[in-house]
Structure 1
Amino acid sequence: MASADQVSLTAPHAPHARAVEAFNRVLPEIKHAVIASRHGWDVHEPKMWSRAAGLSDEKLTTFTVEDDLVEIRTGVVSYGTILFGKVRIPAVNDELGEGFIHVRIHDPPNQGEEDVMFHSIFTMEGKRDADGHPHLWRAIQVKDEPLEFFNE
C-alpha cells in the first residue's frame, strides 16, 4: 500500500464527473462504514463521533455525492488511482460549523467505475496537545481541516 511520501496528490478541487461516478459506485459502502465506525467507536471512545450525538444512523447518512461531495484530491499509483473526498454531513452543523467526513476510495486501472473500491474513512485519533496528552478524537471534521493523504 502506498504511503504519503510515495503519492503526489493533486491540489484540492471540486469533483469532476468521473469522481462523482466513482464515489456513487461505493456510496452504500461509505454509509455502511460511517454507521459501523460510529457504533464501534461509541464503545471505545465516544468522543470520536460526538458531533453526531443524538442523530439516528439514517439522519447521519443522508448525504449524497451530487450535493455533498465538495472537494477531492487524487493520486496515481502503480495499481490505479487513489481518490480522497471531503463529504458534507448535512445533519451536522454545530458550534464548530458544518461537519464533513474524509473518505478514501481506490479506482484500479482499465475498468471504469465498475471496480471502484471503498477504502476507509479518516478518523483523527487522539491528536495531542503541547504537553503530549491526547485531547481530540474526531471522525466528523471541520470545514477547514485539510483533505490530506491517509491510510486508515
Structure 2
Amino acid sequence: MSSSEQLNFNAPHAPQSNAIEAFNIILSTIKQEVIKSRNDWDKHEPRMWSRATGLSDAELTSFSIEKDLVEVRSAATTYGTIILGKIRLPAVQDGAGEGFLHVRIHDPPNRGAEDIIFHSLFTDEIRDEPNSQPIGYCAIQTVEKPLRFFNE
C-alpha cells in the first residue's frame, strides 16, 4: 500500500473523459458505499453524516458523474493508478454551502477499465492533535476542502 509521501499526484483538475468513464463504471458501487457508510456511522457517531440529516438514501445519492464529478487527481503506482474524485452532492445545501464526497478508486494496470475498483470514501475525524480524541466528524466536505490522498 502506498502513502501520500510515496505518491506523486497531479494537480487537482476538471475530469477528462477517462476519469468520467472510470467513475461511471463503479457509480453503483459508490452509491451503495455512501448508503452503507451513513448507516454504519449513524449507529455510533451520527455527526459523521449530519449534513445529510433528513435526506433519504435516494436523495443523498442523486448525483451523476457527468454533472457532479467536479475535480480529480491521480497518481501512478507499480500496481496501477490511484484516482481521487470530488463529487458534488446536489441534495446537500446547508449553512456550509454545497456538499461534496471525496472518493478514492483504483485502476490496476493492463486490463483497461473492466477492473476498476472502489477503495474508499473520505470520512474525516477532526482532531486537535494526531493522537487525541476526535472533536468533530465530517463525511460531507465543503468545496474548500482540498482533494488529498487518504487511506480510509
After TM superposition, list the pairs within 5 Å mapping 1:29-68 onto structure 2: 29-68=29-68
- Please state whether the residue corresponding to 1:104 is helix, strand or coil: strand
- Once residues 88 and 41 of structure 2 are traced to their aligned partners in structure 1, the CA distance between those partners, rounded to angstroms, is 20
RMSD: 1.0
* TM-score normalised according to structure 2 size: 0.96
Q: Name the counterpart of 1:121.
A: 121
For 2:142, the aligned partner's letter is V
Tell me the CA shift for residue 135 of structure 1. 1.8
- Please state whether the residue corresponding to 1:9 is helix, strand or coil: coil
- Once residues 63 and 113 of structure 1 are traced to their aligned partners in structure 2, the CA distance between those partners, rounded to angstroms, is 21
* TM-score normalised according to structure 1 size: 0.96
For 1:53, the aligned partner's letter is T
Which runs of 5 or more residues in structure 1 are unaligned? Answer: none
For 1:40, the aligned partner's letter is D
After TM superposition, list the pairs within 5 Å mapping 1:72-111 onto structure 2: 72-111=72-111
- Please state whether the residue corresponding to 1:113 is helix, strand or coil: helix
Tell me the CA shift for residue 133 of structure 1. 5.2
Tell me the CA shift for residue 134 of structure 1. 2.5
Which runs of 5 or more residues in structure 2 are unaligned? Answer: none
Tell me the CA shift for residue 111 of structure 1. 1.3
Tell me the CA shift for residue 30 of structure 1. 0.3
Runs of 4+ in 1 over 2 A off after TM superposition: none
- Asked if 1:147 is matched to 2:147, the reply is yes
- Once residues 129 and 92 of structure 1 are traced to their aligned partners in structure 2, the CA distance between those partners, rounded to angstroms, is 27
How many residue pairs end up in the alignment?
A: 150
For 2:78, the aligned partner's letter is S
For 1:129, the aligned partner's letter is D
For 1:50, the aligned partner's letter is S
- Once residues 42 and 57 of structure 2 are traced to their aligned partners in structure 1, the CA distance between those partners, rounded to angstroms, is 13
- Once residues 116 and 122 of structure 1 are traced to their aligned partners in structure 2, the CA distance between those partners, rounded to angstroms, is 18
Q: Name the counterpart of 2:27.
A: 27
- Once residues 6 and 23 of structure 1 are traced to their aligned partners in structure 2, the CA distance between those partners, rounded to angstroms, is 24
- Please state whether the residue corresponding to 1:99 is helix, strand or coil: strand
